[in-house]
Amino acid sequence: MVLLRIAICDDMPRELERAGDLLAKYAREHIPVEIKIQSFSSPLELLTHAAEKGGFDMLLLDIYMPGIMGTEAARELRDMGDQCQIIFLTTSRDHAVDAFSLDAAHYLVKPYSENEFFAALEKVMDKVAMKKEASVTLKSTDGIRRIDLSRLIYSETDSHVQKIYLSDGSIIRVRKTSIELFQLLEAEPRFYKCGSTYIVNMDYIVELTSRNVVFSTGAKIPMLSRIFADFKGRYMDYSCDR
């Protein structure tokens, strides 16, 4: 069963409750899907959580809220490197163009029906689930580990061991060469072998220069100047396709 982490952000308690109820109903009717829901009553609360504890697989985001509009909050999340699927909830179509410029998956106008809500979920659920299901099983120094590839940020060669850095802050050590590890990952277009030392997950990149690669977690690794042009081209192609 796939576990999907979904956040709802709306300043209206009744709207939060309704969206949560519909999500729960969807999960009951779709057995392979397990949904963990977290609600936020303001964009600032959502952004603080994302910065401190990480983001979500999907976000249901109201546009008209006090302080910061939902589109502004989405832009900040994208600037942080968050690539979650966003479904905007709003009372007006005025911000549709702005919403889709932020790579929104869907745009629901209130009051939306149950069928419209479920149709929006169906539009993005398969894409999220497929990405979540991708995993690799490795023999680490601590035992056998199944690693969700969406949580793998990058790996680093340390002598004959690959140190694999995960989004929860943990590090897994695997006795493989960088080439052997990449052979297990290369079918996934999100991974790039950065020289002989690093393998990176491009979903987490927030800054790429001729000197460094910076990830949304704050981690930073050096960039080899001889591969920068190729890496930059691959990253741009990947970013445009996803």
The answer to whether residues 92 and 141 belong to one domain is: no
Domains of the chain: total: 2
Per-residue pLDDT tens for 177-218? 999 999 989 888 899 999 989 999 998 998 999 999 999 888
The answer to whether residues 125 and 195 belong to one domain is: no
The answer to whether residues 127 and 140 belong to one domain is: no
- Measuring CA to CA, which residue among 52, 39, 131 is closest to residue 89? 39
The answer to whether residues 159 and 211 belong to one domain is: yes
Which of 107, 133, 159 lies at the terminal end of a domain, its last residue?
Answer: 133
Query: Can the peptide bond before residue 111 be classed as cis, meaning omega within 30 degrees of 0?
Result: yes
Helix then strand then coil, % of the chain, to nearest 5: 40, 35, 30
The answer to whether residues 159 and 86 belong to one domain is: no
Task: Answer whether residue 1 shows pLDDT above 60.
Answer: no
The answer to whether residues 179 and 163 belong to one domain is: yes
CATH number at residue 161: 2.40.50.1020
Q: Which residues of 75-114 are buried (b: 16+ CB within 10 A; e: fewer)?
A: ebbbeebbbbbbbbbbeeeebeebbeebebbbbbeeebee
Task: Answer whether residue 3 shows pLDDT above 90.
Answer: no
Percentage of residues of the chain with pLDDT beyond 70 = 91
pTM of the model: 0.59
Which of 64, 99, 133 lies at the terminal end of a domain, its last residue?
Answer: 133
Note down the domain range covering 38.
2-133
Which of 133, 152, 172 lies at the terminal end of a domain, its last residue?
Answer: 133
SS3 of residue 226 by DSSP: helix
Per-residue pLDDT tens for 156-181? 999 889 999 998 889 999 999 999 99
Q: What is the pLDDT of residue 194?
A: 93
Per-residue pLDDT tens for 92-107? 777 666 766 777 888 8
Q: How many alpha carbons fall within 13 Å on the CB side of residue 52?
A: 6
Give 156's strand partners.
163, 198
Residues, the chain = 242
- Residues ≥6 apart with Cβ < 8 Å to 59: 6, 7, 8, 9, 46, 74, 77, 84, 85, 86, 87
CATH number at residue 57: 3.40.50.2300
The answer to whether residues 94 and 118 belong to one domain is: yes
